[in-house]
Amino acid sequence: MYKIEKQNLTALFRKIAEGRDLYLPVESAGQVNFAAWDEEAKVSLDTTKTVKSPKDAFFPQSETLYTCKKEGKKLEVTQEALREKGFVVFGMKACDVRGVEVLDRVFLSEPVDSYYQARREHGVLVALACKEPEESCFCTAFGIDAANPVGADAEKPAGDHTMNQTGADVAVWDIADWLYWKPLTEKGEALTESVRGLLTEAGEEEVLAEQSRIRAVLKRLPYADLSLEGWGGDATKEKFDSPLWETLYRPCLGCGTCTFVCPTCQCYDIKDYRTKDGIQRYRCWDSCMYSDFTLMSAGNNRTTQLQRFRQRFMHKLVYYPANNDGLFSCTGCGRCVEKCPSSLNIVKVIKAFAKEGGARNE
């Protein structure tokens, strides 16, 4: 365990950014999102929830896959270079770390997504404990400990760069005037070594005290008792056929806010952009809420908003766990709770079903 005085954070960031990219919560035009650090950046570590999750660092909203260039009738295809420069994502929350774990299971299982894999290999996750959990948070429902943002599989042996490399590389705590710093993995150790000069050794006591303070706050959150009973991979038919969707979806505007702020939504579309002398094939986030989601030449397999709405929650709470050892594709970050223009969200859906099924919610 190490610590650094918060007034020295700029020096820390400067040091980290030497030869690497550093992404962290930065305020721009009134909103806090993960962005590249520079000397002018208005870093905001106090923000519990950035608007977008940090998943951009590994799975950007839009990225070029390859470029086709035409000369005469000759076609030249150039693959976009994979990430080679190291980078650090600083200030992810426990829920965001879980988000990466969810993405890993999609992108790092066969066939491996090489673009994502390259980013994961070169990225170092520095996770920050939640000083001030908010009323929209419900990470506890998914077994996440916001007070100890280490990630589920932090104990896995280092050096295994595929499925096992989940969890944060460094965990940090913001306590009074100090930032406590604990390397968790080999990558975390390496990062720690490179900034070692700025850190001082510290004991665990303050961190343990802070953790119990945070856990007390987590216990009194309005959604602290949210139960996922009845959800999971086995619930497909029962949940799919429920008449509840009929009323639940109605205020849904069909916008993509929930999916774009979500740390786990992983759907993308691949499109071509015509350039001067060819095309650029890129992928960009897609949203299952959109009417042209998975549109095929024969039409769309989900033609109504009800079907699209159902898809999102069925995927998060039923289909994904069915294929991933029961892991839910929701981290309880609560971004959708705060941002849905119609005040709909996954919690309301879970509760509506619980009420129906007589579970202990509500």
- Interface residues with another protein (CB under 8 A) are 28-31, 33, 48, 51-52, 61-62, 72-73, 132-136, 217, 220, 222-223, 247, 250-251, 253-257, 259-261, 269, 271, 273-277, 280, 282, 284-287, 290-292, 299-300, 303-304, 337, 339, 341-345, 347-348, 351
Exposure on the CB side of residue 119, measured as CA atoms within 13 A: 20
Nearer to another protein, 222 or 326 (CB): 222
For the bound state, the minimum distance from the C-beta of residue 272 to another protein, rounded and expressed in Å, comes to 11
Report the residue number, 29 or 241, with the smaller CB distance to another protein.
29
Least spacing, CB of residue 342 vs another protein, in Å: 5
Least distance in Å: CB of 254 to another protein?
6
Least gap, CB of 344 to another protein (angstroms): 6
Interaxial angle between packed helices 186-194 and 9-16, expressed in degrees from 0 to 180 and rounded to the nearest 10: 110
User: Residue 143 Cβ, how far from another protein at the closest point, in Å?
Assistant: 21
Q: Is 222 helix (H, G, I), strand (E, B) or coil?
A: coil
Which is it for strands 62-71 and 74-79: parallel, antiparallel or unpaired?
A: antiparallel
Q: Which residues pair with 78 in a beta bridge?
A: 67
Dihedral sign, Cα of residue 345, residue 347, residue 350, residue 352: negative
Q: Whose Cβ is closer to another protein: residue 200's or residue 304's?
A: 304
Residue 5 or 135 having the CB closest to another protein: 135
Residue closer to another protein by CB (options 92, 137) is 137
Nearest distance from residue 237's CB to another protein, in Å? 22
Given a contact cutoff of 8 angstroms between Cβ atoms, the answer to whether 167 and 187 are in contact is no
Question: What is the smallest separation between the CB atom of 112 and another protein, expressed in angstroms?
Answer: 23
Closer residue to another protein (CB): 82 or 284: 284
The CB-of-135 to another protein minimum distance in angstroms stands at 5
The CB-side HSE value for 165 (13 A sphere, CA atoms) comes to: 22
**Which tokens go with 272?**
């071509």
Residue 7 beta carbon to another protein: minimum distance, rounded to whole angstroms: 22
Beta bridge partners of 67: 78, 280
Half-sphere exposure of 154 (CA within 13 A, CB side): 24
φ, ψ for residue 280 (rounded to 5)? -115, 125
DSSP state at residue 126: E
Nearer to another protein, 171 or 347 (CB): 347
* CA-wise closest residue to 61 among 329, 307, 268: 268
Residue among 23, 8, 6 nearest 127 (CA):
23
How is 63-121 classified by DSSP, letter by letter?
A: EEEEEEEEETTEEEEEEPPPP-S-EEEEEE-HHHHHHHHHHHHHHSSSSP-HHHHHHHH
Q: Which helix (H) or strand (E) element contains residue 238?
A: helix 236-240
Nearer to another protein, 191 or 218 (CB): 218
CB of 337 vs another protein, minimal distance in Å: 7
Q: Using alpha carbons only, what angle is made at residue 354 by residues 351 and 358, rounded to the nearest 5 degrees?
A: 140
Residue closer to another protein, measured from CB, 94 or 252: 252
List the one residue out of 102, 156, 96 whose CA is nearest residue 126: 96
Select 124 or 146, whichever has its Cβ closest to another protein.
Answer: 146
Neighbours of 170 (CB within 10 A): 25
